[in-house]
Chain A
């Protein structure tokens, strides 16, 4: 099993299959009002050592997708269809005991709010040592040594002493570092970071992002980075997937998606970002409308009720036909490639400056 680092950047041969491969994933929750289709036909691949950024509004299915990868959804109310293959192993049908062996070991997760995501009742060190003891069969002492080592690695000063502290004795940034140490304690091949910096202030956020990049370089971990912050994604990701209403609307390398975005929703996201060099008092440009209800999603293109370029697509295709995402670089939109290019160059880019 060779690890391809980010620098090498070479995708594994096609016949080996991607490290993580999600195919036509559907996740729906049974609620009193009916089935909520949180993820609706999502496919993506991730290679070792690379970072996939998933962007989208709240409720676009980003977090649900990744909880489903780990099998952390509530099986009583959730229906999962499609395939999630991790090194060829099917996860949607895997037994709970198999998933337990993967979680925290091969696939680890970092959550948004490090205060509520750590148990207040046990020391930070104990919480980090637990998965190491479980997955590696390490003794208490060996696990503690490993914990101290990991805390040092994520930049906690005086780790031997701080490991005995409780989460509430840590600052927000330190708690997130501890979370990262906990996620990486077993050298996972895949790290899912669910808005890991959203609850932190900007300077701490930059430190955490640097830390993640350093650790990825060192361990060759594949990262799925979920965020709604395009600035963060530009800094972190190799590839970007933009999600809207439970499916991907645009996908490509970071360069492609941010430099020449092709989907009206991505344009809207970019356009709604505040800019430091614009005049004070320039109003923000939000995407009109609200995210659709996933109980009863719009027909055709999910974005059509909010799309300002809909009349450029002739007829009522946007309302009747759901645009598909081509396997390679593409946006799920009925506009022609030429239209997309010209709209972006002539109308969108000047506004972005």
Chain B
């Protein structure tokens, strides 16, 4: 197991380095000159060259890449804005802040949003899905299935404003969503994120309802389920021990994908509720052609996805003993 994790981690690092190369070449090798943007209307060749030097883009691209890699590992102090400790993604063109510390500023919000929503949609989605599978063919099953169809065809930018309009602006039941540090004020953290959690998880929950239902029903038709029933185990026992265990595999797979994409920034949700998380940051960096920031957000999201993949693979081995040996 340890060897497996080590192998997967090394493999992921290789992928990450390759991704860095590609992203770096794409961004900094582009014919468009970011210095022109900063130079303004009264640009002179001297001023342009000056900016090139400050941005570090007067050197050749391989040289720039090498410096960038060194910065990631060891930090840099050749920036006009000040020293840049490792992992150094440089300074934002737009805000002149360190990219890494900006990322770390925005991360807690995104993590809170993603994990909170995950808890809600797992609880609701798996619960309703399993209940529907348990009561297959009944009215409960049919209404859950129909309800999940309707909800999963909804969009956050529709549900979000709707929730805001009803719950906040008209009835004043809740305050407008805002982010407070968990360590600062747990109650404010909870109430401020409640509406975004519910809205974000609604769409996911519907998907998980259908997945849990079909996965459970499929598992219940396995022959070993019949064996377990034939030796006198109750329907409940067989459902929660035998079928549930098997249906975890597809659920964990999809959960890994969903969680990693949310941790890279839930752009639509963050915009809908005006929450400045990583997704918000990614869009900002595009708007301002803020290449160091964009590169930082992208590589961070990629690292999160790779990490989630490793966790999912480890979960497979935990769930299914057949995976452990190979």
Contacts and interface: CB of A to CB of B under 8 A. Distances in A.
A180 to B, nearest CB: 12
Given A116-B223, A120-B322, A76 B232 contact: no
A72 B227 CA distance: 10
Interface in B233-275: 233-235, 241-242, 245-246
Chain B contact residues, majority secondary structure? helix
A332 interface: no
B231 A116 contact: no
A134 B227 contact: no
12 contacts: A72-B226, A72-B230, A96-B235, A100-B232, A103-B230, A104-B233, A113-B223, A118-B224, A119-B242, A121-B245, A134-B233, A168-B321
B228 interface: yes
Given A72-B226, A111-B226, A118-B227, A102 B319 contact: no
Interface of A: 70, 72, 76, 96, 100-105, 108-109, 111, 113, 116-122, 127, 130-131, 134-135, 166, 168-169, 179, 182-183
Interface of B: 137, 222-224, 226-235, 241-242, 245-246, 319-322, 325
Max chain B C-beta neighbours (<10 A), residue from A76, A102, A121: A121
Given A100-B232, A104-B230, A119 B321 contact: no
B233 A130 contact: yes
B227 A105 contact: no
- Listed residue (B224, B229, B230, B322) with the most chain A CB atoms within 10 angstroms of its CB: B230
Contact of B231 (A113, A120, A130, A168): A130
B224 A117 contact: yes
Contacts of A104: 230-233
A183 B227 CA distance: 10
Nearest to B243: A119
Nearest to A169: B325
Given A166-B321, A166-B322, A168-B321, A120 B224 contact: yes
Contacts, number: 78
A122 to B, nearest CB: 8
Contacts of B241: 122
Contact of B224 (A103, A116, A166): A116
Nearest to A66: B230
Given A76-B137, A111-B227, A116-B222, A121 B232 contact: no
B321 A121 contact: yes
Contacts of A76: 137
Given A103-B229, A120-B322, 13 more contacts: A100-B233, A103-B230, A104-B230, A108-B230, A109-B230, A111-B223, A111-B227, A116-B224, A120-B320, A120-B321, A121-B242, A127-B228, A130-B233
A103 B231 contact: yes
Contacts of A109: 227, 230-231
A102 B233 CA distance: 11
A121 B320 contact: yes
Nearest to A192: B230
A122 B245 CA distance: 10
Contact of A105 (B228, B232, B234, B319): B232
